Amino acid sequence: MTDLETPVATRPRTGAVRRAAPALLGYAAVRALGLIALFAWSAANGKSAHKLLTARWDSLWYTRVADLGYGYEVRLPNGDVHSNLAFFPLLPWLERLVSAITPLSYADAGLLVSTLASLAAAWGIFAVVDHVYGRRAGVCAVLVWAVLPVAVVQSMAYSESLFTALAAWSLYAVLTGRWLTAGLLASLAGLTRPVGVAVVAALWVTAITSFVRNRSAPRPDGAPAWRRALGMLLAPLGAAGYVLWVGHHTGNGPLGYLDVQAGWRNGFDGGYAFARFVGDKFTSLPSALAGVGLIVGVALIVWLYVTCVRQGQPLPLLVYAGIVTALALCASSYFGSKPRLLMPAFPLLLPLALALARLRTSRSAPMLCGVAVASAVYGAFWLNGSGPP
């Protein structure tokens, strides 16, 4: 019987670090390869890889929050207002903390936080998948996440790695019945990115389902009901607290954060703007090819989610991945950001991870190495070009 087939309860208990070591070492190797490619490409083009990782795009906004606090905004010629209130506070708080206790600048502190968070995220993904499908599948899931085309973002002073770490460990806590831990981590995820609502929803749906299924048992799943209830109360505090603070700060009421996002021309329109964006590609042959690629990409994401459902993934993973995917695809702006916004939806990768886990190492290893090289080259090319918007 393979590790993929071995029930969780019958696997030998080993040290958590030792069990996760292959996944973490493999992840670190892939990210190191990506950074080597980035530094080499940047040097050849006369650019600073360090600046690309720490001082461009969203990373600049986070360091400004860490340095100046909230209230900074840019008024564009078309009347749009880009306010730093759009950026949730946990990453800049950590940048400020690390900078206060080390010689690092805010930007370098953000890079350190992101680097450590990416390892924590890899470990969290492994823990979730190992718990559900076994160690081999867990290692494969981490490596597939590491070789995503836009995985270089995991090494930038961005909030995706921090959010994914908090989300993955919160989901693991839900799966293992640690409701207070799950609620606390969900609250922190809600202080990291707006999509933290997906973690909250996963916890709430799972807890409510557990209440309904086990209402006659005083300690269902080995956890007192009050722990689940308290976990549910803790989970939304981070996101709700920040959104309400923004509303008070701007004087626009409880939903003032939506006005801030509107200043960035960002919102949720059910995918209408994205559909128009794809449709507009079919105006000439070169852009039509890009349009076909976008349609194929969306179809692949939908197929992966349907496969996750058919494979019977646990409810919290399905809820979480479904909401992250819906929010990413149905946002009304920044269409080039969608691959990056989808990156935290790691349960979508489990069908691929399970397929790899069933292969012999002699077949799966060359495949992953080839994709890792391609991901490293693409990441270097991307950051030296348009980069993450």
pLDDT at 218 over 60: no
Distance between CA atoms of residues 141 and 356, nearest Å: 9
Characterize 218-236 residue by residue with b for buried, 16 or more Cβ atoms within 10 angstroms of its Cβ, and e for exposed. Answer: eebeebebebbeebbebbb
The DSSP line for 313-357 is --HHHHHHHHHHHHHHHTBSS-GGGHHHHHTT-GGGGHHHHHHHH
pTM value is 0.93
Mean pLDDT of 189-213: 94
At 290, the amino acid letter reads: A
Nearest Cα to Cα of residue 205 among 186, 222, 188: 186
268 DSSP β-pair partners: 331
| Three-state secondary-structure class, residue 166 | helix
Backbone angles phi, psi at 139, to 5 degrees: -60, -45
Looking at per-residue confidence, does 332 or 181 come out higher? Answer: 181
pLDDT at 358 over 90: yes
Characterize 323-332 residue by residue with b for buried, 16 or more Cβ atoms within 10 angstroms of its Cβ, and e for exposed. Answer: bbbbbbbbbb
pLDDT at 38 over 70: yes
Going by pLDDT thresholds of 50, 70 and 90, the confidence category of residue 32 is very high
Nearest Cα to Cα of residue 160 among 343, 339, 30: 343
Distance between CA atoms of residues 328 and 341, nearest Å: 6
State the pLDDT at residue 37: 97
State the pLDDT at residue 271: 82
Q: Among 194-198, 241-245, 358-362, whose mean pLDDT is lowest?
A: 358-362
DSSP state letter for 12: P
DSSP state letter for 212: H
Q: What value does the mean pLDDT of the chain take?
A: 91
Distance between CA atoms of residues 153 and 347, nearest Å: 18
Q: Where are the alpha helices (DSSP H) in the chain?
A: 16-44, 49-54, 58-68, 90-101, 106-133, 135-146, 160-175, 179-190, 196-213, 225-234, 237-250, 256-263, 272-279, 285-310, 315-329, 338-342, 350-357, 361-383
The DSSP line for 257-272 is HHHHHHHTT--B-TTH
State the pLDDT at residue 366: 93
Distance between CA atoms of residues 369 and 125, nearest Å: 20
State the pLDDT at residue 257: 93
Looking at per-residue confidence, does 370 or 10 come out higher? Answer: 370
State the pLDDT at residue 222: 58
At 369, the amino acid letter reads: C
265 DSSP β-pair partners: none
At CB < 8 A and 24+ separation, what contacts does 67-76 make?
67/106, 70/249, 73/263
- What are the boundaries of each domain within the chain? 8-383
Q: How many other C-beta atoms lie within 10 A of the C-beta of residue 217?
A: 10
Mean pLDDT of 81-104: 96
State the pLDDT at residue 33: 97
Only one residue has tokens 């980069």, namely 387
Distance between CA atoms of residues 152 and 146, nearest Å: 9
User: Is residue 341 a contact partner of residue 327, using CB atoms and an 8 Å limit?
Assistant: yes
